[in-house]
Protein backbone atom coordinates (compact mmCIF):
# COMPACT_ATOMS: atom_id res chain seq x y z
CA UNK A 1 0.00 0.00 0.00
CA UNK A 2 1.70 3.18 -1.15
CA UNK A 3 1.30 6.65 0.33
CA UNK A 4 -1.17 7.82 -2.30
CA UNK A 5 -3.51 4.90 -1.77
CA UNK A 6 -3.30 5.48 1.99
CA UNK A 7 -4.16 9.15 1.44
CA UNK A 8 -7.13 8.22 -0.79
CA UNK A 9 -8.37 5.81 1.84
CA UNK A 10 -8.12 8.52 4.51
CA UNK A 11 -10.16 10.94 2.39
CA UNK A 12 -12.83 8.34 1.75
CA UNK A 13 -13.01 7.67 5.51
CA UNK A 14 -13.86 11.31 6.22
CA UNK A 15 -17.50 10.67 5.26
CA UNK A 16 -18.23 9.77 8.85
CA UNK A 17 -16.74 12.95 10.34
CA UNK A 18 -19.08 15.26 12.27
CA UNK A 19 -18.41 18.88 13.28
CA UNK A 20 -17.30 17.74 16.69
CA UNK A 21 -16.89 14.40 18.24
CA UNK A 22 -20.24 13.42 19.74
CA UNK A 23 -18.61 11.85 22.76
CA UNK A 24 -16.87 15.14 23.65
CA UNK A 25 -19.74 17.51 23.26
CA UNK A 26 -20.07 20.73 21.38
CA UNK A 27 -17.45 22.56 23.42
CA UNK A 28 -14.63 20.23 22.56
CA UNK A 29 -13.48 22.19 19.47
CA UNK A 30 -12.55 20.90 16.10
CA UNK A 31 -9.13 19.57 16.88
CA UNK A 32 -9.85 17.58 19.97
CA UNK A 33 -6.71 15.50 19.76
CA UNK A 34 -8.72 12.45 19.00
CA UNK A 35 -7.43 10.68 15.99
CA UNK A 36 -10.68 8.94 15.22
CA UNK A 37 -8.66 6.08 13.94
CA UNK A 38 -11.69 3.85 14.19
CA UNK A 39 -12.93 5.50 11.00
CA UNK A 40 -10.04 4.12 9.06
CA UNK A 41 -9.78 0.65 7.60
CA UNK A 42 -7.59 -1.69 9.57
CA UNK A 43 -4.82 -1.78 6.97
CA UNK A 44 -4.59 1.99 6.87
CA UNK A 45 -4.73 2.26 10.62
CA UNK A 46 -1.61 0.08 10.93
CA UNK A 47 0.30 2.47 8.69
CA UNK A 48 -0.73 5.46 10.74
CA UNK A 49 0.40 3.80 13.98
CA UNK A 50 3.86 3.38 12.53
CA UNK A 51 4.11 6.73 10.69
CA UNK A 52 3.83 10.07 12.53
CA UNK A 53 3.62 12.16 9.31
CA UNK A 54 0.63 10.11 8.17
CA UNK A 55 -1.01 10.68 11.54
CA UNK A 56 -0.48 14.48 11.20
CA UNK A 57 -1.92 14.39 7.74
CA UNK A 58 -4.93 12.45 9.02
CA UNK A 59 -5.48 14.93 11.84
CA UNK A 60 -5.29 17.82 9.34
CA UNK A 61 -7.85 16.14 7.13
CA UNK A 62 -10.06 15.68 10.16
CA UNK A 63 -9.86 19.40 11.04
CA UNK A 64 -10.65 20.42 7.48
CA UNK A 65 -13.56 18.03 7.28
CA UNK A 66 -14.98 19.25 10.57
CA UNK A 67 -14.60 22.88 9.51
CA UNK A 68 -16.42 22.23 6.29
CA UNK A 69 -19.20 20.46 8.14
CA UNK A 70 -19.80 23.53 10.26
CA UNK A 71 -20.65 25.70 7.25
CA UNK A 72 -24.32 26.52 6.84
CA UNK A 73 -26.23 24.84 4.08
CA UNK A 74 -26.74 27.04 1.03
CA UNK A 75 -30.14 26.61 -0.65
CA UNK A 76 -30.04 25.48 -4.24
CA UNK A 77 -31.25 28.17 -6.68
CA UNK A 78 -34.71 27.26 -7.86
CA UNK A 79 -33.76 27.57 -11.48
CA UNK A 80 -30.63 25.51 -11.20
CA UNK A 81 -32.33 22.42 -12.49
CA UNK A 82 -33.57 24.30 -15.50
CA UNK A 83 -30.16 25.80 -16.18
CA UNK A 84 -28.48 22.47 -15.97
CA UNK A 85 -30.99 20.89 -18.29
CA UNK A 86 -30.82 23.83 -20.66
CA UNK A 87 -27.04 23.73 -20.78
CA UNK A 88 -27.08 20.05 -21.38
CA UNK A 89 -29.75 20.27 -24.05
CA UNK A 90 -28.75 23.53 -25.69
CA UNK A 91 -26.59 22.00 -28.31
CA UNK A 92 -29.22 19.45 -29.22
CA UNK A 93 -31.88 22.16 -29.43
CA UNK A 94 -29.80 24.21 -31.80
CA UNK A 95 -29.23 21.16 -33.93
CA UNK A 96 -32.93 20.38 -33.98
CA UNK A 97 -33.82 24.00 -34.80
CA UNK A 98 -31.25 24.10 -37.58
CA UNK A 99 -32.54 20.86 -38.99
CA UNK A 100 -36.13 22.13 -38.85
CA UNK A 101 -35.26 25.36 -40.63
CA UNK A 102 -33.31 23.49 -43.25
CA UNK A 103 -36.27 21.21 -43.84
CA UNK A 104 -38.65 24.12 -44.53
CA UNK A 105 -39.69 24.59 -48.15
CA UNK A 106 -38.39 27.73 -49.84
CA UNK A 107 -40.64 30.76 -49.49
CA UNK A 108 -40.68 33.47 -52.19
CA UNK A 109 -39.71 36.89 -50.88
CA UNK A 110 -42.40 39.59 -51.07
CA UNK A 111 -41.96 42.15 -53.80
CA UNK A 112 -41.60 44.95 -51.30
CA UNK A 113 -38.52 43.25 -49.96
CA UNK A 114 -36.43 44.32 -52.91
CA UNK A 115 -37.59 47.88 -52.53
CA UNK A 116 -36.78 47.90 -48.83
CA UNK A 117 -33.34 46.50 -49.39
CA UNK A 118 -32.79 49.15 -52.01
CA UNK A 119 -33.90 51.88 -49.62
CA UNK A 120 -31.70 50.64 -46.81
CA UNK A 121 -28.71 50.25 -49.09
CA UNK A 122 -29.29 53.68 -50.56
CA UNK A 123 -29.56 55.22 -47.12
CA UNK A 124 -26.38 53.52 -45.99
CA UNK A 125 -24.56 54.76 -49.06
CA UNK A 126 -25.95 58.22 -48.52
CA UNK A 127 -24.77 58.32 -44.92
CA UNK A 128 -21.38 56.95 -45.84
CA UNK A 129 -21.15 59.52 -48.56
CA UNK A 130 -21.89 62.29 -46.12
CA UNK A 131 -19.12 61.12 -43.87
CA UNK A 132 -16.51 60.27 -46.43
CA UNK A 133 -17.43 62.59 -49.20
CA UNK A 134 -16.11 60.03 -51.63
CA UNK A 135 -19.28 58.65 -53.09
CA UNK A 136 -20.32 61.53 -55.29
CA UNK A 137 -20.60 60.19 -58.81
CA UNK A 138 -19.38 62.42 -61.62
CA UNK A 139 -22.16 64.34 -63.33
CA UNK A 140 -21.34 62.68 -66.63
CA UNK A 141 -22.11 59.24 -65.24
CA UNK A 142 -25.86 59.62 -65.79
CA UNK A 143 -25.30 60.20 -69.46
CA UNK A 144 -22.85 57.36 -69.80
CA UNK A 145 -25.20 54.95 -68.09
CA UNK A 146 -28.17 56.09 -70.19
CA UNK A 147 -26.15 55.64 -73.35
CA UNK A 148 -25.01 52.19 -72.30
CA UNK A 149 -28.56 51.15 -71.41
CA UNK A 150 -29.85 52.31 -74.74
CA UNK A 151 -27.11 50.47 -76.55
CA UNK A 152 -27.95 47.28 -74.71
CA UNK A 153 -31.64 47.77 -75.48
CA UNK A 154 -30.79 47.86 -79.15
CA UNK A 155 -31.31 51.54 -79.61
CA UNK A 156 -27.82 51.92 -80.89
CA UNK A 157 -26.16 55.23 -80.61
CA UNK A 158 -29.21 57.24 -81.50
CA UNK A 159 -28.25 60.57 -80.02
CA UNK A 160 -31.82 61.79 -79.71
CA UNK A 161 -33.27 59.27 -77.32
CA UNK A 162 -30.72 59.56 -74.52
CA UNK A 163 -30.99 63.31 -74.61
CA UNK A 164 -34.76 63.08 -74.47
CA UNK A 165 -34.60 60.82 -71.44
CA UNK A 166 -32.29 63.11 -69.57
CA UNK A 167 -34.25 66.14 -70.57
CA UNK A 168 -37.52 64.66 -69.37
CA UNK A 169 -36.04 63.91 -65.99
CA UNK A 170 -34.87 67.44 -65.57
CA UNK A 171 -38.16 68.80 -66.84
CA UNK A 172 -40.07 66.79 -64.25
CA UNK A 173 -37.85 68.06 -61.49
CA UNK A 174 -38.20 71.61 -62.67
CA UNK A 175 -41.96 71.26 -63.00
CA UNK A 176 -42.19 69.94 -59.48
CA UNK A 177 -40.30 72.91 -58.13
CA UNK A 178 -41.98 75.53 -60.24
CA UNK A 179 -45.39 74.10 -59.49
CA UNK A 180 -44.92 74.58 -55.78
CA UNK A 181 -45.22 78.30 -55.57
CA UNK A 182 -47.24 80.74 -57.58
CA UNK A 183 -47.06 84.36 -56.68
CA UNK A 184 -50.37 86.11 -56.89
CA UNK A 185 -51.43 89.61 -56.23
CA UNK A 186 -52.55 88.60 -52.78
CA UNK A 187 -49.21 87.25 -51.76
CA UNK A 188 -47.53 83.93 -51.92
CA UNK A 189 -50.01 81.13 -52.29
CA UNK A 190 -49.02 77.57 -52.84
CA UNK A 191 -50.63 75.98 -55.84
CA UNK A 192 -49.37 72.48 -56.05
CA UNK A 193 -49.41 70.22 -59.04
CA UNK A 194 -52.69 68.46 -59.22
CA UNK A 195 -51.85 64.80 -59.24
CA UNK A 196 -55.39 63.78 -60.05
CA UNK A 197 -55.82 60.55 -61.99
CA UNK A 198 -52.10 60.40 -62.64
CA UNK A 199 -51.44 60.38 -58.92
CA UNK A 200 -49.11 57.43 -59.17
CA UNK A 201 -47.10 59.13 -61.84
CA UNK A 202 -47.06 62.28 -59.76
CA UNK A 203 -45.43 60.45 -56.91
CA UNK A 204 -42.19 60.76 -58.81
CA UNK A 205 -42.44 64.43 -58.06
CA UNK A 206 -42.42 63.71 -54.33
CA UNK A 207 -39.17 61.89 -54.65
CA UNK A 208 -37.64 64.39 -57.03
CA UNK A 209 -38.71 67.60 -55.33
CA UNK A 210 -35.91 69.39 -53.53
CA UNK A 211 -37.15 69.06 -49.99
CA UNK A 212 -34.81 69.54 -47.08
CA UNK A 213 -35.53 65.96 -46.04
CA UNK A 214 -35.86 62.59 -47.61
CA UNK A 215 -39.34 61.29 -48.41
CA UNK A 216 -40.10 57.59 -48.17
CA UNK A 217 -43.43 56.33 -49.47
CA UNK A 218 -45.22 53.56 -47.61
CA UNK A 219 -47.75 51.53 -49.55
CA UNK A 220 -48.43 48.92 -46.92
CA UNK A 221 -50.03 50.40 -43.78
CA UNK A 222 -48.66 47.45 -41.83
CA UNK A 223 -45.22 49.00 -42.26
CA UNK A 224 -46.33 52.45 -41.20
CA UNK A 225 -45.79 53.98 -37.81
CA UNK A 226 -48.76 53.71 -35.47
CA UNK A 227 -49.10 57.49 -35.25
CA UNK A 228 -49.22 57.72 -39.01
CA UNK A 229 -52.01 55.19 -39.22
CA UNK A 230 -53.96 56.49 -36.26
CA UNK A 231 -54.16 60.06 -37.44
CA UNK A 232 -54.99 59.11 -41.01
CA UNK A 233 -57.41 56.42 -39.90
CA UNK A 234 -59.10 58.75 -37.47
CA UNK A 235 -59.48 61.73 -39.76
CA UNK A 236 -60.75 59.60 -42.62
CA UNK A 237 -63.07 57.52 -40.47
CA UNK A 238 -61.27 54.24 -41.03
CA UNK A 239 -60.64 54.00 -44.75
CA UNK A 240 -57.31 52.36 -44.01
CA UNK A 241 -59.03 49.48 -42.37
CA UNK A 242 -61.16 48.21 -45.18
CA UNK A 243 -58.51 46.23 -46.95
CA UNK A 244 -56.41 43.32 -45.84
CA UNK A 245 -53.07 44.72 -46.91
CA UNK A 246 -50.09 42.46 -47.50
CA UNK A 247 -47.94 42.16 -44.42
Partner 1 sequence: MRLIQRISGLRALASQFEKATRRLWSGGPLAACLLLAACGAGLPSDGGSGTDDPPTYSSGGPPSYFAQGPNAPFKTAYRGTRLVELYYDAQAPVVYREDVGANGKNKFSVETLDVLVTSKPDTALFILMQDMRQTQIYRHRDFRIRDLGLFLSNYDFLVIPNSTNVAGVACDRVQVQARTAALSRFEVDIDPMTGLVMAWEEYDLSAGTLLARVAFETYTPYGDLSDMVLVDHVFQTTSYAVQSEGFEQALGFAPLIPQLQPGAGYQLAPMGEVLAVNDAKWAKLYLTDGMASCVFMHTRQPTPQVGGSGLAEKKGEVAVMQVGSWSSLRGTVNGHTVIMAGRVSEMNLATVLDSALR
Per CB under 8 A, residues contacting partner 1 are: 123, 176, 180-181, 188-197, 199, 202-203, 205-206, 209, 211-219, 221-244
**CB closer to partner 1, 81 vs 220:** 220
User: Taking the complex as a whole, how short is the minimal distance between the CB of residue 214 and partner 1, in angstroms?
Assistant: 4
The CA distances from residue 54 to 35, 43, 51, 243, in Å, are 11, 13, 5, 89
Is the Cβ of residue 4 or residue 184 nearer to partner 1 in the bound state? 184
Q: Which is nearer to partner 1, 32 or 208 (CB)?
A: 208
> 13 near 44, Cβ under 8 Å?
yes
Closest Cα to residue 193, out of 217, 176, 213?
A: 176
Q: Taking the complex as a whole, how short is the minimal distance between the CB of residue 166 and partner 1, in angstroms? A: 23
- DSSP string spanning 17-58? --SS-TTT-GGG-S--S---GGGS-HHHHHHHHH-HHHHHHH
Please state the closest distance from residue 188 (CB atom) to partner 1, in A: 7
DSSP sequence for 175-191: HHHHTTEEEETTEEEE-
Nearest to partner 1 of 143, 202 (CB atom)? 202
Instruction: Supply the DSSP symbol for 157.
Output: T
The nearest distance, CB 135 to partner 1, in angstroms, is 17
Of 74 and 188, nearer to partner 1 (C-beta) is: 188
Q: How far apart are CA 75 and CA 79, in angstroms?
A: 11
Q: Measured from the CB of residue 168, what is the shortest distance to partner 1 in angstroms? A: 19
Which are the contacts of 39, defined by CB distance < 8 A and separation ≥ 6? 13, 14, 16, 17
Q: Which is nearer to partner 1, 146 or 232 (CB)?
A: 232
Q: Is 168 left (phi over 0), alpha (psi -120 to 50) or beta?
A: alpha
Q: Report, in Å, the least distance between residue 67 CB and partner 1.
A: 54
Amino acid sequence: MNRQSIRDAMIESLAGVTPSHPARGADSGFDSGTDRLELLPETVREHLVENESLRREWRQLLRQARAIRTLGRVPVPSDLDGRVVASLQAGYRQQRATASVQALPPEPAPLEFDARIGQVAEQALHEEGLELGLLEAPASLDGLVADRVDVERGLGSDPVRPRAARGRRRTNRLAALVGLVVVTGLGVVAVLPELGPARNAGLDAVEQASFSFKVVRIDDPALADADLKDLLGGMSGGILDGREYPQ
